Amino acid sequence: MLHTLFNPKSVAIIGASAKELSIGNVITKNLLKYNFKGPIYPINPKAPEVRGVKAYPSITDVPGDIDLAHISIPAKFSPQAVDECGKKGVKFIIINSAGYKEVGPEGEAIEKEVVRIAHSYGMRIFGPNCQGIINSDPDVRAYCDFTFTYPDPGHISIVAQSGGVGAVIMQNIHDLGVGMRHYASNGNAADISIPEIIKYYGEDEKTKVIILYVEGFADPHEFMEAAKEVAAKKPILAMRAGRTEEGAKAATSHTGGLAGAGISTELIFYKTGILTFRDEAEMCQSAVAFANQPVPSGNRVGMITDTGGPAIIATDELIDGGLKIPPLTDKAKEYLADRLYPEATISNPIDVLATANARHYRSALDALLNEDQIDSIYINFVTPPFVDCEAVAKEMAEVSKMRQKTLVCNYMTDKPQWTGTTAIMKDGNVPCYDFPEMAAKALIAMTRYNELRSREIGSVITFDDVDKSKAKGVINSAIKQKREILLADEVYEILACYGIPVAEWEIAGSPEEAASAAMTIGYPVVLKADSEQIIHKSDVGGVKVNLKDSGEVLAAAIEMDEKFGKSGLRYFVQKFMPGGKEIIIGANKEPGLGHLIMFGLGGIFVELLKDVAFDITPITEFEANHMIESIKTYPLIEGFRGEKGADKAKLTEILQRVSQLVTDLPEIGEMDLNPIMAFENEVFVVDARIKI
């Protein structure tokens, strides 16, 4: 679909000024400088030429066909320009100028108008308010952009909503001496969307890795669908945006406050299999490894070093990153004993010694290639002046080209002196890093991608013992009565419809009724004030636990009556269930996305440590388990130091049932089960709140 945009046979620039410091002029310059393979047509009613290229007064005066036209004239003139492009038979338009949606309603109206005109001619709009695209393919060399980095051909494709971030990434990759395939920064994205670009990159054979920068999603579902499909085929690397918001938002114990834009972006990335980074430099450096090496099929690393310290640093980093450095087999040890220096260390890491020659390195590489329990190879290579380093590099390059196992190298040298060695490493596609941490991080990123790609998320279970229509009835009647917060009996009714276990309860209208309800339930009980006005019951003395007889129930009820009597108070009597682990499960609606679901341990764990996990509904059993296992306090759920744990299988099931509940009942804005009392073999919800 976007093929012609990235592979235009001819390009026109509407608004190509003769002034050097203007966008249209710079685009003309870039096309020339990057050696664009087709004709360039500057459009300018006054100048006969721009940068030495013949200009035309109007696009309709151009003799040949035009695949792609830039528009860099003021927004108010663009509808007419787009219309002329349509008449000329242009296929794609990049609108570089600003002055559209980003400036307000007037600009937004022009933006809608140009898209409408374009579509009426079957044209597509890229932008407006954007940089454009670059295709480094030697047969195309389309620099339809006003930036200043001239990348060599390569396998990394970049798509960035923000041109600023995109340009920094492109420059950094260029500085690393690595090529780029495509670049796209589409600004306001009025027509061609980021998901479309991701899909195009997904189909582009020469794109081996995609770098993505987005801050939000116009259509989260469109994005998720495209990203999921592409991430299964090739790595998509992205920055985690807005993580400070996550910390800020996590300050409150209610899901409504816990979730934020930053969290949902990260969840969307995780759910679709996009690899996220906290650091742009690390993302770019990792992209270099992805572009040059096969993805490892596991997390076990074999290490080769010719110097001690960097191996220690790398080991720490790799282990921190969840990788394993398994011992060598006897077979490998025997193989190496015959081939390395007697003083060499034959274990993992293999220390070949600083005096190691090409044959020693090759033996170490071969030994690791032949080890079944090794998935990837990490090398520390400092270039000793008393060794034929080019010969060593040739062995690494040869092994790299075999593409049997992932290779990364912490290459420590003075590059201007060791130019020959450096060139051999580069031609051999050996990703080289100045520091052991960076080489390790790149390998960790590749291993993480393999884990993301190979996880079996499974499909969403639909529980068929639920009564959806009854639950809908409860919600609808509250909506009819214009109530936002459901009453306790309504909430518990809905939970019952979805098979979510709750502590036994009764609603009473008077203290006496409360006492008799307590009798039915059996002592001890808890008495709670039920009123639309009271949200945090215990904060205002609306919860009395461990009431052991009717006298205590009556006294507590009368006390509440005195406190809250005016506000239509009812008494919620519930079985007292002490001694369990307090768990929180919540759901919160995110515009355009559906509900986020949250899991955490209650009390100080959520309030102080913000130790919670999120996902996007609907969730599968795998995802529910992953949520539970990913909180830091998970060992407490498993049972820690003799303390009893919680019924994880039941919690997994409740998470899935809540997921189904909020998916079935989209009217629900917020839902909190706080707390759920979890025991070793059973769990009960003891407090629940639903807001519509």
Examine residue 552 and tell whether it contacts Mg ion (CB under 5 A). Answer: no
Closest to ligand ADP by CB, 158 vs 491, is: 491
Residue 570 contact partner, candidates Mg ion, ligand ADP, none, CB within 5 to 8 A by sort of partner = none
Examine residue 348 and tell whether it contacts ligand ADP (CB under 6 A). Answer: no
**N- to C-terminal Cα distance for the chain?**
42
Examine residue 526 and tell whether it contacts ligand ADP (CB under 6 A). Answer: yes
Cis bond before residue 524 (omega within 30° of 0) = yes
Examine residue 498 and tell whether it contacts ligand ADP (CB under 6 A). Answer: no
d(CA 253, CA 584): 9
Token pair in block for residue 144: 């339809």
Residue 538 contact partner, candidates ligand ADP, Mg ion, none, CB within 5 to 8 A by sort of partner = ligand ADP
Q: Which one-letter DSSP state was computed for residue 322?
A: T
Q: Please pick, from the candidates 687, 688, 691, 692, the single residue that binds Mg ion as defined by CB under 5 A.
A: 687
Q: Please pick, from the candidates 11, 425, 543, 587, the single residue that binds ligand ADP as defined by CB under 6 A.
A: 543
Q: Please pick, from the candidates 29, 254, 300, 537, the single residue that binds ligand ADP as defined by CB under 6 A.
A: 537
Examine residue 255 and tell whether it contacts ligand ADP (CB under 6 A). Answer: no
Strand ranges for 359-405 from DSSP E: 376-382
Q: Please pick, from the candidates 191, 317, 611, 687, the single residue that binds ligand ADP as defined by CB under 6 A.
A: 687
Mapped onto helix, strand or coil, the DSSP state of residue 340 is: coil
Q: Could you tell me the smallest distance in angstroms from the CB atom of residue 482 to Mg ion?
A: 25
d(CA 541, CA 164): 54
Q: Residue 161, Cα to own-chain centre: how many angstroms?
A: 15
* Residue the block writes with tokens 């884990």: 451
Examine residue 530 and tell whether it contacts ligand ADP (CB under 6 A). Answer: no
Residues 655-684: x/- map of binding to Mg ion (CB under 5 A)?
A: -------------------x----------
User: Who contacts 74 (Cβ-Cβ below 8 Å, separation ≥6)?
Assistant: 97, 99
* Residues that contact ligand ADP, how many (by CB under 6 A): 19
Q: Please pick, from the candidates 128, 235, 302, 675, the single residue that binds ligand ADP as defined by CB under 6 A.
A: 675
Which span sits near ligand ADP by CB under 6 A: 136-144, 299-307, 405-413, 570-578? 570-578
CB of 305 within 8 A of CB of 431?
no
CB of 126 within 8 A of CB of 145?
no
Least Cα distance to 183 among 199, 193, 197 occurs for 197
Strand ranges for 562-627 from DSSP E: 570-575, 581-590, 594-601, 612-616
Least Cα distance to 318 among 299, 293, 290 occurs for 299
Q: Facing residues of 517 across strands? A: none
Give me the phi and psi of 54, to 5 degrees please: -55, 130
Examine residue 605 and tell whether it contacts ligand ADP (CB under 6 A). Answer: no
Residue 576 contact partner, candidates ligand ADP, Mg ion, none, CB within 5 to 8 A by sort of partner = ligand ADP
Q: Could you tell me the smallest distance in angstroms from the CB atom of residue 513 to ligand ADP?
A: 18
- Whose CB is nearest to Mg ion? 687
Examine residue 571 and tell whether it contacts ligand ADP (CB under 6 A). Answer: no
Q: Could you tell me the smallest distance in angstroms from the CB atom of residue 688 to ligand ADP?
A: 9
Closest to Mg ion by CB, 639 vs 669, is: 669
The amino acid that residue 420 corresponds to is G
The residues of the shown chain that bind ligand ADP, judged by CB under 6 A, are: 503, 526, 528, 536-538, 543, 545, 574-578, 582, 674-675, 677, 686-687
The residues of the shown chain that bind Mg ion, judged by CB under 5 A, are: 674, 687
